[in-house]
């Protein structure tokens, strides 16, 4: 396992069109909405902060695609033909994702991510017989693409075919070769599950992933398209939400307590931040 120097983090959220620092976002504070569900629909102009990092939403302009039932808790939903990016219709995909708008992570750096996810009951999109034919990503480290065009994520957490998979891609096999490091039947629905990932990026990479406090991946592996621009280009930036094939059935997933950066997040392995169930339950 490789670790980097710890850095302090803070959660900052914004309201419609304005990035507003509100500390830990206690309801009723100035700049926060005291009740209701926070929504972002105009992905070109509206931005807010998660764990002190600027983020934007890549989703269809629908009232259900992204809401925040409470502070640090995000609900993502996709339905048929919910295109969140100009290439989704052409590619037969759909999405509702929070995307890092700021820092890109380079070869030699260790990217840490920590979050909880909750899958409500009866999400056909994630079942073994969903017909998704490929993937349902709920967390990915996207490649930093230039003229290369869109490529497969360099790290991903999938809920695909009834399983939870941990995958990577790199220049060792190219964008079309997905390496699966871990696969298990999807954890029980309706309760929070906690993931911490630590990935040293580049040709001489290393990946460690913990699920609910247990290490499930720990080994050397290249991460990222490290040959880009002679090795000078950054390799990754994280997304959270849902990105999957455009099937008929809807899909819903919650994420909570998102943290990321080069600061050591190993304290979250056994002490994840508590996730409070919404008043209406996981729906």
**Predicted pLDDT of residue 43:** 43
Measured between alpha carbons, how far is 40 from 88 in angstroms, rounded to an integer? 19
Whether residue 9 is contained in a domain is answered as no
Whether residue 277 is contained in a domain is answered as no
pLDDT tens-digit map of 168-220: 999 999 999 999 999 999 999 999 999 999 999 999 999 999 999 999 999 99
Q: Is the pLDDT of residue 22 over 80?
A: no
Whether residue 4 is contained in a domain is answered as no
pTM for the full predicted model: 0.84
Measured between alpha carbons, how far is 164 from 187 in angstroms, rounded to an integer? 8
Whether residue 28 is contained in a domain is answered as no
Whether residue 166 is contained in a domain is answered as yes
**Predicted pLDDT of residue 30:** 23
Tokens describing residue 77: 């939903």
Which of these, 83, 50, 95, lies nearest to 237 by C-alpha position? 50
Work out how many domains the chain is built from and give that number: 1
**Predicted pLDDT of residue 3:** 35
Whether residue 7 is contained in a domain is answered as no
Domain that holds residue 53: 48-268
Which of these, 84, 21, 93, lies nearest to 57 by C-alpha position? 84
Q: Which residues of 26-59 are buried (b: 16+ CB within 10 A; e: fewer)?
A: eeeeeebbeeeebbbeebeebbbbbbbbbbbbbb
**Confidence tier at 146 by pLDDT (50, 70, 90):** confident
| CATH number of the domain bearing residue 160 | 2.60.120.200
Q: Is the pLDDT of residue 51 over 70?
A: yes
Q: Which residue has the tokens 């925040």?
A: 68
**Predicted pLDDT of residue 138:** 97
Whether residue 23 is contained in a domain is answered as no
Cβ contacts of residue 205 below 8 Å, gap of 6+? 170, 199, 220, 221, 222, 223, 224
Q: Is the pLDDT of residue 7 over 80?
A: no
Q: Which residue has the tokens 């929504």?
A: 39
């Amino acid at each position: 396992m490789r670790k980097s120097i710890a850095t302090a983090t803070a959660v900052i959220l914004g309201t419609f069109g304005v990035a507003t620092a509100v500390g830990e976002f206690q309801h009723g504070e100035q700049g926060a909405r005291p009740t209701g569900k926070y929504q972002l629909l105009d992905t070109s102009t509206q931005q807010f902060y998660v764990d002190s990092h600027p983020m934007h939403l890549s989703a269809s302009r629908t009232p259900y695609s992204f809401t925040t039932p409470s502070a640090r808790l995000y609900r993502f939903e996709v339905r048929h033909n919910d295109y969140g990016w100009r290439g989704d219709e052409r590619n037969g995909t759909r999405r509702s994702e929070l995307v890092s708008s700021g820092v890109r992570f380079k070869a030699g750096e260790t990217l840490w991510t920590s979050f909880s996810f909750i899958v409500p009951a009866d999400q056909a999109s994630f079942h073994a017989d969903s017909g998704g034919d490929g993937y349902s990503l709920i967390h990915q480290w996207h490649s930093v693409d230039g003229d290369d065009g869109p490529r497969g994520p360099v790290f991903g957490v999938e809920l695909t075919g009834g399983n939870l998979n941990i995958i990577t891609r790199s220049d060792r096999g190219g964008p079309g070769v997905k390496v699966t490091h871990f696969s298990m039947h999807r954890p029980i629905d309706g309760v929070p599950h906690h993931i911490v990932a630590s990935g040293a990026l580049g040709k001489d990479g290393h990946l460690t992933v913990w699920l609910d406090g247990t290490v499930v991946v720990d080994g050397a592996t290249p991460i990222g398209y490290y040959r880009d621009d002679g090795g000078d280009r950054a390799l990754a930036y994280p997304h959270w939400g849902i990105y999957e094939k455009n099937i008929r059935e809807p899909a819903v997933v919650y994420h909570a307590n998102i943290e990321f950066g080069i600061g050591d997040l190993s304290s979250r392995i056994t002490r994840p931040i508590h996730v409070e169930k919404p008043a209406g339950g996981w729906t």
